[in-house]
Amino acid sequence: MSEPIIAFEKVSKWYGEFHVLRDLDLAVARGERIVICGPSGSGKSTLIRCINALEEHQEGRLTVDGIEIKDDVKAIETVRRNVGMVFQQFNLFPHLTVLENLTLAPMWVGRVPKKEADERAMAQLTRVRIAEQAGKYPLQLSGGQQQRVAIARSLCMTPKIMLFDEPTSALDPEMIKEVLDVMIELAGGGITMLCVTHEMGFARSVADRVIFMDQGQIVEQNTPAEFFAHPKSERTRDFLSKILSH
């Protein structure tokens, strides 16, 4: 059994006075696909944002790919090169074309020459089935297309870990499918994935583990089959009944 690629050891975080992550323990194995669900304010987004140091934790020990997340800027930059993140609001750069959005990081962080960066970018765009939009600006695309570009942008750096922060929550219902299809195909490729989402269908088909969080703690975690069929905690049952009913 190899070292976990992500290890949370009694991690705590406060937003001012609010204790958002409470003595969290979590170990993610290499290649594992995890779906995190829970009510809003439970700390799920904060958890994954701590992994690439977008949020700073105050107590506890967090290790990502062998590197401990501390105040060290160099360590954080190394971690971020290997961790890709997809945001709810896409966060594409509106003043750059789709292709330029994708080649920016490889050229400026990875020091890849332009020609190779362009080829890599086109390969990823083809993978998410949006190659023909390469010359357009993000605001000229639909929401689903923008999110797929965002996924392709993260993949251009060939990360070891992919983080998804509610990737389909800002999309029209019709566009959710195209993004989920991309994520399912990605999951089949062996990359470590942590996904905060409300799409339980996705969790059932793809996840190795489903984690339910409430009030900054992991209340329950299990395989999807067990989680949905036999939820152990009352709180979990309550949550599932609300989101699976409609």
Partner 1 sequence: MDTALHAPVIARPPPMRTAGPLAWLRANLFGGWKSTLATLIVVAVIARVLPEIIDWAVVRAVTRPDNAACRALDHSGACWGVIVEKYRLILFGRYPFDEQWRPLVATLLMVVMLIASCTRVLWSRWLVVAWLSVLAVFFVLMRGGIAGLTPVETARWGGVPLTMLLSTLSIAAAFPIAILVALGRRSHLPAIRTLCIVYVELIRGVPLISVLFMASFMFPLFMPPGITVDVLVRVLVGITLFAAAYLAEVVRGGLQAIPKGQLEAAAAMGLTYWQTQRKIVLPQALRMVVPSIMNSFISTFKDTSLVTIVSLYDLTGSLALALGGDANWRQFYLEGYLFIAAIYWLFCFAMSRYSQWVERHLNVGNVR
Residues that bind partner 1 (CB under 8 A): 52, 54, 77, 80-81, 83-85, 87, 89, 91-97, 104-105, 108-109, 137-140, 153-154, 157
Please identify which residue in the block is written with the tokens 């332009």: 114
Q: Which is nearer to partner 1, 54 or 123 (CB)?
A: 54
CB of 103 to partner 1, least distance (A): 11
**Shortest separation between residue 133's beta carbon and partner 1, angstroms:** 13
The smaller minimum CB distance to partner 1, of residues 85 and 207, is found at 85
Give 1 or 139: the residue with its C-beta nearer to partner 1.
139
Using CB atoms within 10 Å of the CB of residue 40, give its burial: 0 to 12 exposed, 13 to 18 middle, 19+ buried.
exposed
Using the minimum distance from each CB to partner 1, give the nearer residue, 29 or 75. 75
- Give CA torsion, residues 127, 132, 134, 135, to 10 deg: 180
Per residue, the 3-state secondary structure of 41-78, as one string, reads CCCHHHHHHHHCCCCCCCEEEEEECCEECCCCHHHHHH
Residue labelled with tokens 């949370």: 8
Question: In the numeric block, which tokens belong to residue 153?
Answer: 């942008």
Rounded (5°) CA angle 180-148-210: 35
- From the CB of 86, what's the least distance to partner 1, in Å? 9
Q: How far is the CB of 157 from partner 1 (least distance, A)?
A: 7
